């Protein structure tokens, strides 16, 4: 049973500040992800990889096709779902690690991570967040500090912790290891492997070939879906 299935998905942008210029991005995107499988999206920068992730997450509306995501006993078509349904889906079925950390200012790092565990009591959520942050080599002394002052690599590790802490059926990763050293890349590889063993369907953009080879069960070349 597929956890995620994209069928003939297409996306384009209209640049209103450029006289309504129509910019095609991708068309005919077809791939499926089973539970416990990692699909890596490959291709040159600008070919539409991040746009595909954002369409799966419901941040971008697609112009055509279907994005079928399993949410418990139900299947949601993200392409046509209402905003209310998409918000509920994000709380139950899908987690997303973007390239940039977006956090409420002045909130402690441990709480930035713990708030993603909305299925747990606050104390339990903070405890599990602390375990994951330690694993990602965030020092104890920084957990009480807002992450806005962290280095790029530290912020990315907080971002990874936010995405990996919830127990969701689908995990979307946009360049999760791009700002990391070799030690922390190895941690992320292990975390992805653990998610797969627990039956999570992973879709990841990974330019690092070593990381991609370590985690990917299937590679989708997004350049083949370039829109005319």
Helices (H), 61-151: 83-92, 109-114, 122-135
Q: What is the pLDDT of residues 124-133, one digit of tens each?
A: 999 999 999 9
Q: What is the pLDDT of residues 65-99, one digit of tens each?
A: 999 999 888 899 999 999 999 999 999 999 999 88
pLDDT band at 1 (very low <50, low <70, confident <90, very high): low
- State the Cα torsion 118-97-26-10 to the nearest 10°: 0
pTM: 0.94
- Joined together, the tokens standing for residue 22 give 């129509």
Spatial separation of the C-alpha atoms in residues 207 and 196, rounded to whole Å: 20
Tell me the residue length of the chain: 228
């Amino acid at each position: 049973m597929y956890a995620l299935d994209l069928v003939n998905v297409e996306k384009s942008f209209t640049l209103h500040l450029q006289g309504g210029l129509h910019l095609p991005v991708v068309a005919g995107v077809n791939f499926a992800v089973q539970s416990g499988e990692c699909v890596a999206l490959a291709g040159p920068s600008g070919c539409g990889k991040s746009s595909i992730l954002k369409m799966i997450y419901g941040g971008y509306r697609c112009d055509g096709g279907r994005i079928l995501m399993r949410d418990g006993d139900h299947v949601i078509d993200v392409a046509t779902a209402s905003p209310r349904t998409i918000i509920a889906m994000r709380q139950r079925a899908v987690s997303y690690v973007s390239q940039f950390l977006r956090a409420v200012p002045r909130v402690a790092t441990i709480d930035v991570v713990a708030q993603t565990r909305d299925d747990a009591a606050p104390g339990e959520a903070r405890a599990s967040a602390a375990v994951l942050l330690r694993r990602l080599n965030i020092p104890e002394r920084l957990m009480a500090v807002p992450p806005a002052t962290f280095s790029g690599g530290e912020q990315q590790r907080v971002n990874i912790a936010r995405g990996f802490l919830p127990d969701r059926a689908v995990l979307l990763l946009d360049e999760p290891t791009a700002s990391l050293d070799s030690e922390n890349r190895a941690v992320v590889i292990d975390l992805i492997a653990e998610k797969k063993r627990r039956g999570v369907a992973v879709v990841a953009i990974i330019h690092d070939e070593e990381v991609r080879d370590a985690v990917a069960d299937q590679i989708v070349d997004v350049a083949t879906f370039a829109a005319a």
